[in-house]
Amino acid sequence: MDSSRNTIWSAMQSKGYNRRDFLQFCTMAAVIAGIEQSALGSVVEAFEKVERPPIVWLHFQECTCCSESFIRASHPIVADILLDAVSLNYTETLQAASGFQAEKCLQDTIKKYPGKYILMVEGAIPTADGGVYCMIGGRTAEQILQECAKDAGTIIAWGSCASNGCVQAAKPNPTGATPVHKLVSQPVINVPGCPPIADVMAAVVTHLLVHGRAPELDSLGRPREFYGRRVHDTCYRRPNYDAGLFVESFDDENARKGYCLYKMGCRGPITYNACSVVKWNEGTSYPIQSGHGCIGCSEEGFWDNGPFYQHLRSFPGFGIESTADTVGATLGLVTLAGAGVHAAVTNIRKQKLIAEIHAEDAESNHQKES
């Protein structure tokens, strides 16, 4: 093995750790990753042999909050990831080189590490009108994505933009914004959220490095580890929900007691994310803890399910506030009224109808008898 290549072991040596520290680190990593003790040997080996895995991080239709979130990671901190764990070879947001020198970083990586580099995508890809709504270096986002995806070892879609289209894909989706998994043929690890939680992002990367394979994914391509439960399932306000104790208006008596935000539109019951457990920014808080309902930012199409202040979307085609209930109740009343009118009319025609029916019956009985 080329000794100049940096492995995690050599990176640790250089930071003054000894072999015992290193083994301890491997054990910890293995425990975190849930590997049995017997398999520990292979982890040690993996860290000793693997050169820092090259990463290409593409930016398309995005607000860069996924990158911003990523640098908020606290365990591990992002400096350690960037300097010791991976080799982030291309990312427009942070890299030193610009212009063709930057593009060279990209080309070098995909040529040198076919099948090995990790492709991370932040942002959606506009597909309308030939893809002109996002172009880098004179090429469209889609052209760049296809080129980079072709030989990627693993593909990660960061955030709701890359995993489900997010805000630019909200109606009427003027630029044809499309998530990554709809454009590439390989499997994609979707890490939705607007943005995803920093430590979840760091953990997905760590998972890949430690295991050398993708975390277990659900039917929407999301790591079960972080998207297997609803925000609601582990929300600390859940006892209030079950007890029927709800905030009725922002900053009311109940809000000040931390009651459940369901009636303020909380989407926690239909949102799969780790917010209520991992929480945000080193476990400091999460939307609900700070008094606002979950808007479901990790779910496909959450923008088109507003207003955010009722727990179900408004009924399409009616006023902003019309819920399924207002529409339904109106129809119900109309129906009741209809039945009432119908009954009244029937009643007026009663004499005539009964007379006619009896006349018929009488006649048929008469016929039988005669």
Partner 1 sequence: MSRIVVDPVTRVEGHLRVEAVVEGGRIVDAFSSGMMVRGLEKILIGRDPRDAWAIVGRVCGVCTSCHSLTSVRAVEDALGIVIPRTAELIRNLMECTIQIHDHVVHFYHLHALDWVDVVSVLKADPARTAAIAQSISTYPKSSAAYFSEVQQRIKKFVDSGQLGIFANGYWGHPQFKLPPEVNLLGVAHYLEALEWQKEIVKVHTIFGGKNPHPNYLVGGVPCSINVDEVNAINTERLNYVGSLISQAEEFINQVYIPDVLAIAGFYKDWASIGGGLPNYLSYGDMPTRGYAHPEYFKFPRGVVLNRDLSTVHPVNAKDKQEIKEYIAHSWYNYQEGNDAGMHPFDGETSLHYTGPKPPFETLAESEKYSFIKTPRWQDQPMEVGPLARLVVGYAAGNTDIREVVNDALGRLNVPKEALFSTLGRTAARALDAKLAVHYMREFFGQLLDQVKANETSTFNPEKWNPSTWPAEAEGVGLTEAPRGALAHYIKIKDGRIANYQLVVPTTWNGSPRDGRGQHSAFEASLIGSPVANLEQPLEIIRTLHSFDPCLACSVH
Partner 2 sequence: MSATSLPNANSAPAGYQRVYVWELPVRIFHWINALCIVVLCATGYIVGAPMRMFYAAEAYQQYWFGTVRFLHFLAAFTFTFNLAFRFYWGFVGNEYCRWTRFIPLKRWQQKEIVEVLKADVLQTKLHGPISTGHNSLAATIYIGLFAACAVQIVTGFALYSSMSLGLLPRAFTHVVALFGSEFPIRFLHHLMMWFFLLFIIVHVYLSFYHDYIEGRGTVSSIIGGWKFEKRKHD
Q: In this complex, which beta carbon is closest to ligand HEM, that of residue 312 or of residue 336?
A: 312
The pair of three-digit structure tokens given for residue 236, joined into one six-digit string: 């600390």
Q: How far apart are CA 83 and CA 75, in angstroms?
A: 14
Give residues 231-260 in contact with ligand SF4 (rule: CB under 6 A): 231-232, 235, 237-238, 241, 260
Q: State the DSSP string of 311-328.
A: SSPPPTTS-TT--HHHHH
Q: In this complex, which beta carbon is closest to ligand HEM, that of residue 176 or of residue 268?
A: 268
Name the packing angle between helices 19-33 and 40-49 (round to 10°): 120
- Minimal distance, residue 191 CB to ligand SF4, in Å: 10
Q: Is 334 exposed, middle or buried (0-12, 13-18, 19+ CB in 10 A)?
A: exposed
Task: Determine the length of the chain.
Answer: 370
Q: How far apart are CA 1 and CA 238, in angstroms?
A: 54
- Minimal distance, residue 337 CB to ligand HEM, in Å: 20
Give residues 303-322 in contact with partner 1 (rule: CB under 8 A): 303, 306-309, 314, 319-321
Q: Is 217 in the site for ligand SF4 (CB under 6 A)?
A: no
For residue 53, cis peptide bond before it (omega within 30 degrees of 0) = no
Q: Is 86 in the site for ligand SF4 (CB under 6 A)?
A: no
Q: Is 153 exposed, middle or buried (0-12, 13-18, 19+ CB in 10 A)?
A: middle
The pair of three-digit structure tokens given for residue 250, joined into one six-digit string: 């922002």
Q: How far apart are CA 271 and CA 224, in angstroms?
A: 13
- Locus of tokens 């920093």: 198
| Residue nearest to ligand SF4 as judged by C-beta position | 268
- Minimal distance, residue 194 CB to ligand HEM, in Å: 22
Contact string 167-206 vs partner 2 (x = CB under 8 A)? ----------------------------------------
Range 11-42 burial, b when 16+ CB lie within 10 A, else e: bbeeeeeeeeebeebbeebbeebebeeeebee
Q: In this complex, which beta carbon is closest to ligand SF4, that of residue 10 or of residue 168?
A: 168
Q: How far apart are CA 46 and CA 209, in angstroms?
A: 9
Judged by CB under 6 A, the residue of 195, 221, 287, 296 near ligand SF4 is 195
- Locus of tokens 């009964």: 354
Judged by CB under 6 A, the residue of 88, 156, 169, 231 near ligand F3S is 231
Judged by CB under 6 A, the residue of 294, 305, 308, 314 near ligand F3S is 294
* Residue type, position 214, single letter: A
Q: State the DSSP string of 59-77.
A: E-BS-SHHHHHHTT-BTTB
Among candidates 4, 7, 103, 12, which has minimal Cα distance to 56? 103
Q: Is 277 in the site for partner 1 (CB under 8 A)?
A: no
Residue 167 binding target from partner 2, ligand F3S, ligand SF4, none, CB below 5 to 8 Å by type: ligand SF4
Give residues 239-278 in contact with ligand F3S (rule: CB under 6 A): 271, 273, 275
Q: Is 63 in the site for ligand SF4 (CB under 6 A)?
A: yes
Judged by CB under 8 A, the residue of 18, 28, 49, 101 near partner 1 is 101
For residue 76, cis peptide bond before it (omega within 30 degrees of 0) = yes
Residues at the interface with ligand HEM (CB under 6 A): 269, 312
Beta strands 125-126; 154-158: pairing state: unpaired
Give residues 307-336 in contact with partner 2 (rule: CB under 8 A): 311-313, 324-325, 327-329, 331-332, 335-336
Judged by CB under 6 A, the residue of 85, 266, 274, 295 near ligand SF4 is 266
- Which residues bind to ligand SF4, rule: CB under 6 A? 62-63, 65-66, 122-123, 159-161, 166-167, 194-195, 231-232, 235, 237-238, 241, 260-262, 266, 268-269, 288, 293-294
- Binding interface with ligand F3S (CB under 6 A): 231, 271, 273, 275, 286-288, 294-298
Q: Interface residues with partner 2 (CB under 8 A)?
A: 164, 218-220, 229-230, 233, 239-246, 248, 254, 262-263, 267, 269-272, 296, 299-302, 305, 311-313, 324-325, 327-329, 331-332, 335-336, 339, 342-343, 345-346, 349, 353-358, 361-362, 364-369
